[in-house]
Amino acid sequence: SKLVEPGGSVTAFEIEADLAARAKANLARYANVRIVQGDAVADPLPPSDIVYVNAGVVAPPAAWLGALKPGGRMIFPWRPSETVGLAVLITRLGNGFACRPFMGSWFIPCVGASAVEPGAKIPTRERATRTRSIWLTKD
C-alpha cells in the first residue's frame, strides 16, 4: 500500500476463502487495497504497472501478461519442472516482453498454473537461466 502512494492502488487475489477474509480484515485500514477472494489464474486482472506472484507457475498465464501496462513489470516464481525453480522479472516492451531470471526460487505451486502440459519442452536449469524473452501466442 505504501509503495504505491500517492494515488496508486493494490489489488490482491487469494484463492483460499479464510485467508482472503483474514487479509481483508488485516488490511481494512488501507483505502487503496482491495482483496479479491478468487482465482488469479481464471479471473481477470486489472491493468497493472506491477504484478507480483507468490506461487510457482509452469508459465505465466496469458491474462497476467495482458494485464501489464506498457513498461509494466511482473515478478514470479517460474517452476517449469520439479527440478527447476527461478525468480523471474518480466517487463512489457513495445513489441513483446523481456525476461530476466535472477535467482533460484522455490514456492508452493500455483493452483491452476502448475501442471506441466504433456509434450511440453522442459528447460534445464542452465537453459532456463539464459531465457531473455517470452511471447504471447494466439490459438
Give 98 or 114, the one with higher predicted confidence. 98
| Residue 2, SS3 per DSSP | helix
Residue 121: what pLDDT? 72
Average pLDDT value for residue range 100-118 = 79
Q: Which domains does the chain have, with CATH numbers?
A: 1-38 (no CATH), 41-139 (3.40.50.150)
What grid cell was written down for 12? 490482491
Task: Name the band, by pLDDT with cuts 50, 70 and 90, for residue 104.
Answer: confident
By residue count, the chain amounts to 139
* Residue that the C-alpha cell 516482453 belongs to: 97
Average pLDDT value for residue range 68-73 = 95
Task: Name the band, by pLDDT with cuts 50, 70 and 90, for residue 58.
Answer: confident
